[in-house]
Chain A
Amino acid sequence: MSGRDPVAAGLPPLDRREFLKGLGAGLLVVLTPGAAWAQESGRGFRGHELPKDISAWIAIDADGRVRVFTGKVEVGQNIRTSLAQQVAEELRVPFDSIAMVMGDTDLVPWDMGTFGSRTTPTMGPQLRTMAAAARQMLIEKAASNWKVPATSLHASGGKVADPAHQRSIGYAELTHGEKLVKVISGDQPLTPAADWKIAGTPVPKANGRDFVTGKHKYPSDIVRPGMWFGAVVRADAFNAKLVSADSSAAEKMPGVKVVRDGDFIGVAAEDSSVVRAAVKAIEAKWDAPAHQQGNEGLFDYLKKTPEPGEESHPHSRGSVEQAFAGADVKLDERYTVQYIAHAPLEPRAAVAEWQNGKLTVWTGTQRPFGVQEELMQAFNLPAAQVRVIQLDMGSGYGGKHSGEAAVEAARIAKAIGKPVKVEWTRAEEFTWAYLRPAGLIEIRAGARKDGTLVAWEHHNYNSGPSAIETPYEAPNQMIQYHPAQSPLRQGSYRALAATANNFARESHMEAVAHAAGIDPLAFRLKNLTNERLRAVLQAAADKFGWTKARSTAQRGYGIACGTDKGGYTAACAEVEIGSGKTVRVRRVVAAWESGAIINPDGLRNQQMGAIVQGLGGALFEHILFGDGRIRNPYFSAYRVPRFADAPQIEIVILDRKDLPPAGAGEIGLIALAPAVGNAIFAATGVRVRNMPMAPEAPVPGIDPSPFRS
């Protein structure tokens, strides 16, 4: 199996320092900072300098196996495979010889985390640069051994070949027992995408077999010798203080220990069946603030309650007021999005073990070094005393940046002196993790009769600044993000606020087109000069058959596009309106472009998944809350997309081998909701400006949608 996880593959655990010291087979190449290097990879962050020697990133084992070390983590986005492809490509080794070592803070170079679609544009070039430098070193080493010019040699299949003398030597033979040191430039010539043989191909998921046989170990699957099971007594509302707790009954239960520390009440049990009963046996009284903001009045609250000290930077050009006054078509509307939950199928889980003062935690997180820092702070430990091991996990979608379960497990483990596993319940994950922010977006637009956009004003309250700027040409603009005090804990979510901003913008663009009496695709193209966005818009429209699509009362067709983080997407949606105003999305054509493609199969999988996941937020997902409580923290009360919700999906991929690859895990979401909303409008003439657009029951605090899912 290629790109395999050495732990999953049953290889012995590797201590990096021992490995380097013992084998002495590493390549040490010191890279001088080059332009690309400084820009993308060598940037220090909070005192963290990325290592410049190849051996920190790539090790060639004595048997020719190549280990690649990265702080990026695999959460289902398929980078274990796509990064391995890129290293194999540049190093000229078979894909199968690569083992990716990911997200283990003792073994891999520091990394900020896996988010923001940064793996492909930053870690990819980083590892490719290292691999290319290593390849060059190996060629030079062989040249020196054979006393021939390096230019007469080439590397392929894990060997350096000398065609003139019909001989070759394996990488492992070249590196054995020796470290190669040389200063080279950071700007290594990388293999152009047009010449790729391993990158750019649909290599199947690394370790795929382990996933269909149940062998793959997720964080929640970890078991340590002598491990106990832990859980935490939760407050009955947000912002509550502990008044009193009677844990005497729990403490009398056999094999149970209660850990008290301020408002923290942890429970540990030797037997897994006892731990939840012990939690229930603790009588805790909490004091919560009397009135806490809920769904009712949420958007007025967000607008009226700015986050103090959080400066809001407006993007302004020309004069919106003047342009608006002189426009033929004027439209002023407000849009909302609700809090939604990531609900990764694997809730937070961690196993913590203390040994001789060193803490090791196995957990699921997008930021292993962030969790390491949380643990260092919680227990006042230096980095060397905290090891976080992230195993390819049951996903995150931006929802697992934090290490709550890790800290909880470590606290309980420290107190009882045994390894402890803490697994959050589904209700805990819904309640005590963080949410995709709710937001209010107000847009005012003006256009001339001929469809020329002249004024664009866009205000986003709370949901975020991602993709807030319009890709359309509007000579007069005023665009501003207004951070607010969120009543609920909020954080990153796949595509961040690009989904909300694009929903509002693309819905509004459609409404302006309609008011001006112009075809929505033609209106967009008229005001759009960005060639890459135009290309996906046209590609989606062509594949969908947009020009022939005629909406009826029962069937609507909608289109939308968007760009962020170097990804360009457009979607056409076909929506069926049933009796009782039910909405079913029947067909989606999505076009995607993000530069050169590393793995077309993985890319298609991501885009398809983004469409399906995006349907949830577009149509029905929403958090119900009030008085400091989440009211629907269960899958039976929080609807997520299921098989029956999935439309026919066609993905059109534009491969731009002439452009550097951008990340593709997030932005596939952002055109879906407005395309669906525009399709609903095309069929019914009703514009739904609130996401979700067709909830099971009206969402409190907003005008009820006439539509149901």
Chain B
Amino acid sequence: MGEYTLHVNGREMHVSAPADEPLLWVLRNRLDLTGTKYGCGEGQCGACTVLLNGQATRSCLTPLNAVAGAKVVTIEGLEQNSHLTPVQEAFLHEGAMQCGYCTPGMILQATSLLNETHEPTDQQIVEGMNGNICRCGTYPRIVAAVRMASRLAAHGGTR
């Protein structure tokens, strides 16, 4: 067990945990941030995706000691003063989910993608999102949502 200070969703948080504990379990079991999901534990499904200094990162493969000092954003940290981000708005508008278990990871992956590529082509969306699995098969709607989020962001929303 070690003592760590994390910056999660704009707040400083202190945790006591083993250095090699995956960030996923730190978030879920120690910080009560259960929006980040377990799906495979091998970085294959993207359900555990968070933003690490703005970059989509698989929290199931990221040890705690690698994130000390970094800025972590989870699904819970996107909404500001009851305002959804363009990506969240777009997922809601397109109905881009069924069971919704993959949705937090999808939203953070898409957020990261749009941070890097403001107006992605459909091909870039598919490539950028291909590491995230939706078993319900809502991929076409998610692509539409990312496209819409790009337009929303261009019209003044924050990414």
Closest to A642 in B: B130
Closest 3 CB pairs of A and B: A214-B35, A612-B137, A76-B99
Which chain A residues (598-619) contact chain B, with CB distance < 8 Å?
601, 605-606, 608-613
Interface centre among B29, B97, B99, B101 (most CB of A within 10 A): B99
Chain A residues positioned under 8 Å from B74 (CB to CB)? 214
Q: How many residues of A contact B (CB 8 A)?
A: 56
Residue-by-residue, is B14-40 near A (CB-CB < 8 Å gives 1, otherwise 0)?
A: 000110010001001110111111111
In the assembled complex, 10 residue pairs joining A and B whose CB atoms fall closer than 8 Å, in A order, are A208-B92, A213-B75, A216-B100, A273-B21, A345-B102, A634-B42, A636-B44, A640-B135, A644-B126, A646-B143
CA distance A282 to B29 in the complex (A): 24
B98 within 8 A of A: yes
Closest Cβ of chain B to A529, distance in Å, is 33
**Contacts A223-B32, A643-B130 given: A76-B141 contact, CB under 8 Å?**
no
Residue-by-residue, is B112-154 near A (CB-CB < 8 Å gives 1, otherwise 0)?
A: 0000000000000111011011111111111100000000000
Q: Which of B25, B33, B91, B133 contacts A345 (CB 8 A)?
A: B133
Q: Do most interface residues of chain B lie in helix, strand or loop, or is the interface mixed?
A: loop
Closest Cβ of chain B to A666, distance in Å, is 13
CA distance A432 to B88 in the complex (A): 35
**Contacts A205-B97, A214-B74 given: A613-B140 contact, CB under 8 Å?**
no
Closest Cβ of chain B to A281, distance in Å, is 15
Contact in complex: B25, A272 (CB < 8 Å): yes
CA distance A613 to B21 in the complex (A): 33
Closest to B131 in A: A642
Contact in complex: A608, B140 (CB < 8 Å): yes
Chain A residues positioned under 8 Å from B139 (CB to CB)? 612, 641-643, 646
- Segment with Cβ contacts to B, from A366-374, A387-395, A477-485, A589-597: A387-395
Chain A residues positioned under 8 Å from B42 (CB to CB)? 426, 634-636
Closest to B18 in A: A273
Count the A-B residue pairs with Cβ separation under 8 angstroms: how many?
A: 164
Contact in complex: B95, A205 (CB < 8 Å): yes
Chain B residues positioned under 8 Å from A611 (CB to CB)? 137
CA distance A609 to B100 in the complex (A): 13
Closest Cβ of chain B to A158, distance in Å, is 26
Q: Which of B18, B92, B99 contacts A209 (CB 8 A)?
A: B92
**Contacts A608-B137, A634-B40 given: A394-B101 contact, CB under 8 Å?**
yes
**Contacts A345-B102, A634-B44 given: A605-B39 contact, CB under 8 Å?**
no
Q: A204-B95, A346-B39, A643-B139 are in contact. List 5 more A-B contacts (CB 8 A).
A: A345-B101, A641-B139, A643-B130, A643-B143, A646-B143
Q: Do most interface residues of chain A lie in helix, strand or loop, or is the interface mixed?
A: loop
CA distance A392 to B103 in the complex (A): 14
Contact in complex: A221, B34 (CB < 8 Å): yes
A99 within 8 A of B: no
A212 within 8 A of B: yes
Residue-by-residue, is A177-218 near B (CB-CB < 8 Å gives 1, otherwise 0)?
A: 000000000000000000000000000110011011111111
CA distance A460 to B78 in the complex (A): 51
**Contacts A76-B99, A273-B25, A609-B137 given: A214-B44 contact, CB under 8 Å?**
no
Closest to A229 in B: B29
B61 within 8 A of A: no
CA distance A205 to B103 in the complex (A): 14
Contact in complex: B99, A345 (CB < 8 Å): yes
Closest Cβ of chain A to B39, distance in Å, is 5
Contact in complex: A643, B129 (CB < 8 Å): yes
Contact in complex: B44, A213 (CB < 8 Å): no
CA distance A566 to B98 in the complex (A): 22
CA distance A213 to B40 in the complex (A): 21
Chain B residues positioned under 8 Å from A220 (CB to CB)? 34, 37-38
**Contacts A211-B103, A214-B34 given: A649-B136 contact, CB under 8 Å?**
no
Q: Which of A211, A223, A613, A634 contacts B137 (CB 8 A)?
A: A613
